[in-house]
Structure 1
Amino acid sequence: MALLAAILLPGACDGPHSVLDPAGDQAAHLHGLLNLMLWVCGIMYALVLGFLAWALWRTIRRRDAAPPGPDESQRPLRIGLGAWAGLVVAGLILLSTASFLVDRSLAAAREHEALSIRITAHQWWWRVAYRDPASGEWIETANELYLPAGRTARLELVAEDVIHSFWVPNLSGKLDVIPGRTNLLDITPRRVGWYRGNCAEFCGLQHTLMALDVRVAPPEEFSAWLAAQAASASQPSDPVLARGQDLFVNGTCAACHVVRGTPADGRSGPDLTHVGTRRSIAGGALPMNRGNLQGWFLNPEALKPGTLMPAVVLPSQEADALARYLEWLK
């Protein structure tokens, strides 16, 4: 099902959400290997059908003829079987060699300096943290991955709860994310645009609503974005936004979420310091807008059954103030 989705669904990206549209070095290597396998297996299949048709034709043609002698009938069969075995061995050697070379090319990026990104899989969302090249500190966001075009990013993949699998079909192959283990995946994107990542391992009830929006940006755009993400949240001057901040900091939200620059320092949920800049919320379940934000925190179970986020019970005016504040966090 995950493979079918990766080939057919447009998702939240600019182009097709597909392994057939590579936009990075690793995906291009895998796409080349896929094409080679299709050609080799397709030729083998065509030859099988051709030999089957030839055998049937010979059988029909010789139905009324005298049967051949033992030597006459066995010699073509031995030659044909020998040639076929040689062709199969040659095809397997070709595919094995190509697979080995692609594996080496996927690992080669690790020999160079790479942008370090740590991705933690949760049920059912992604925690994304970037190591600041200047300070060495980690800059955290959630459910959205920014990558600079033309530069290798090394992803450190860990799982908080169950086994997940990280996969951005246009940019790389998939890699399991396992509790207690750190797996490394290198991505070198080449084409600017938006792409969609998935969890490709069934990880619970809302597995299909565990998406990751991936932005490949020009280097200068990425640097500006990362600098903005490193900044703490501003203090609102508008009374409604100030009321929303007060509800967030002094209510139940602060127990699970961080907004840097405020006393809210919960760690069990996503960092919301700049949540208003994201394209979606709830692990890709809903587009980012004020109405969806309000619906999500008032009744998350109705929108994503099984989620660990509790409902926030507020009167309508206070719910609107909280939603406005969250949308304002940019």
Structure 2
Amino acid sequence: MRRGAVAPALPLALAACTGVQTPLDPYGEQAGRIAGLTWLLFGGGTAIFLLVMGLLALAILAPARLRRGMGSHRFVLLGGIAFPVATLAALLVHTLGVSRALVLPAEAAPLRIEVIGRQYWWEVRYPDAGEGAVTANEIRLPVGREVELLVSSADVIHSLWLPNLHGKIDMIPGRVNRQRFRAGRTGALRGQCAEFCGLQHSFMAFWAVVQEPAEFEAWLARQRAPVPPPASPEAARGMRVFGEAGCGACHAVRGTEWQGRLGPDLSRVGSRLSLAAGALENRHGTLAGWIAGAQDIKPGNSMPAYGRALEGADLLAVATWLEGLR
């Protein structure tokens, strides 16, 4: 490769080591251990590759006397058996130590968060906060506090992966798996379903927002509280249309008669970073577009398209009301 072609590639390679969805930019101790093991494997693999290439060059270019020595039984036993066995054994012991450290609890009473995988979205519950602390497609975390995720599935096998904080964990119907971690700094991190679960698997993402403890507690209090009344006549119209269209049969909105469980809880949908499990940015236009054409945007999901059932003004009114639920 020419030198001029290497320079543009370096920023791209380095950029892959940082960001909101990479195990190489750890936000906590567990992800830091995984990143350290990753760099050890990268470095060790590179060193062994260079060593093998060097020995190959010697076997081809070295004087005959040295090449005969490299073909001796002693050299083969040391380089071909003893060295790999010792290296792999040391790596195994180190890896087992890292694996043990990843599963050992650090606190007796972590913050428990239930995450239920569904085709193709995430239900998130905070059982320690009491009834009503429910959201969707977004996990809020307090910085510096240990968290225990209790993950399960309502349909098929999913896998939750939040690479900046921990490794992958399977979500299996009828079983609850657990994962503990602690975020060391604030930020918005992206997670993903890492097990093929159907047509829209690649669009089954979520955001994890790490906040200061006081900010997190304020957010949690808002989640438990009933939604505020509509702030404008258009929002009031949107709330009425929401009920008339039967949306409450699938969605819950706290403080109202609508307590559906088939779809995401919409009580504070206006405060979330994304719609449709990371498929869209959350703003007024995308809210209306999602309601109108959910099957065009994300075919195969359970949300019907209301583009023909509702007039444009009604669609915009519903989006206005939902956007105000913060």
Common fold: TM-score over 0.5:
yes
Matches within 5 A, 1:277-296: 277-296=271-290
Structure 1 stretches of 5 or more lacking a match? 1-6
The equivalent position to 1:173 in structure 2, one of 164, 167, 178, is 167
Task: Tell me, in whole angstroms, the C-alpha distance in 2 between the residues paired with 1:168 and 1:198.
Answer: 7
Q: 1:108 to 1:138 in 2, by over 3 A?
A: farther
Corresponding residue for 1:209? 203
Q: What per-residue deviation string (whole Å, max 9, x for no partner) do you get for residues 140-175 of structure 1?
A: 000111111111110011111111110011111111
The equivalent position to 1:121 in structure 2, one of 75, 93, 117, is 117
Task: Tell me, in whole angstroms, the C-alpha distance in 2 between the residues paired with 1:75 and 1:303.
Answer: 63
Task: Tell me, in whole angstroms, the C-alpha distance in 2 between the residues paired with 1:44 and 1:99.
Answer: 18
Matches within 5 A, 1:70-149: 77-84=72-79, 85-109=81-105, 112-133=108-129, 136-137=130-131, 139-149=133-143
Task: Tell me, in whole angstroms, the C-alpha distance in 1 between the residues paired with 2:70 and 2:245.
Answer: 87
- SS of match in other structure, 1:175: strand
Q: 1:291 to 1:75 in 2, by over 3 A?
A: closer
- SS of match in other structure, 1:132: helix
Task: Tell me, in whole angstroms, the C-alpha distance in 1 between the residues paired with 2:82 and 2:211.
Answer: 49
Corresponding residue for 1:4? none
Q: 1:321 to 1:55 in 2, by over 3 A?
A: same
Q: 1:250 to 1:132 in 2, by over 3 A?
A: farther
- SS of match in other structure, 2:302: coil
Q: Scaled by the length of structure 1, what TM-score is found?
A: 0.88
8 Å Cα contact 1:167/1:197 also seen in 2: yes
8 Å Cα contact 2:138/2:207 also seen in 1: yes
- SS of match in other structure, 1:41: helix
8 Å Cα contact 1:116/1:131 also seen in 2: yes
Q: What per-residue deviation string (whole Å, max 9, x for no partner) do you get for residues 249-305 of structure 1?
A: 232211100001011111000000000001111111111111111111111111111
Matches within 5 A, 1:144-163: 144-163=138-157
Q: Give 4+ residue runs of structure 1 displaced > 3 Å after superposition.
A: 72-76
8 Å Cα contact 1:121/1:127 also seen in 2: yes
| Count of matched residue pairs | 311
The equivalent position to 1:35 in structure 2, one of 17, 35, 39, is 39
Task: Tell me, in whole angstroms, the C-alpha distance in 2 between the residues paired with 1:172 and 1:291.
Answer: 34
> Counterpart of 2:120 in structure 1: which amino acid?
W
Corresponding residue for 2:213? 219
Task: Tell me, in whole angstroms, the C-alpha distance in 1 between the residues paired with 2:239 and 2:105.
Answer: 44
Structure 1 position 255 matched with structure 2 position 259: no
> Percent identity, aligned pairs only?
42
Task: Tell me, in whole angstroms, the C-alpha distance in 2 between the residues paired with 1:47 and 1:15.
Answer: 33
Corresponding residue for 1:55? 59
The equivalent position to 2:234 in structure 1, one of 237, 240, 262, is 240
Task: Tell me, in whole angstroms, the C-alpha distance in 1 between the residues paired with 2:43 and 2:242.
Answer: 58
The equivalent position to 1:21 in structure 2, one of 11, 18, 25, is 25
- Structure exhibiting the larger radius of gyration computed from Cα positions: 1
Q: Scaled by the length of structure 2, what TM-score is found?
A: 0.89
TM-superposed CA distance for 1:74, in Å, is 7.5
Task: Tell me, in whole angstroms, the C-alpha distance in 2 between the residues paired with 1:278 and 1:295.
Answer: 16
Corresponding residue for 1:299? 293
Q: Note the aligned Cα RMSD (angstroms).
A: 2.4
TM-superposed CA distance for 1:139, in Å, is 1.0
> Counterpart of 1:195 in structure 2: which amino acid?
L
TM-superposed CA distance for 1:183, in Å, is 0.8
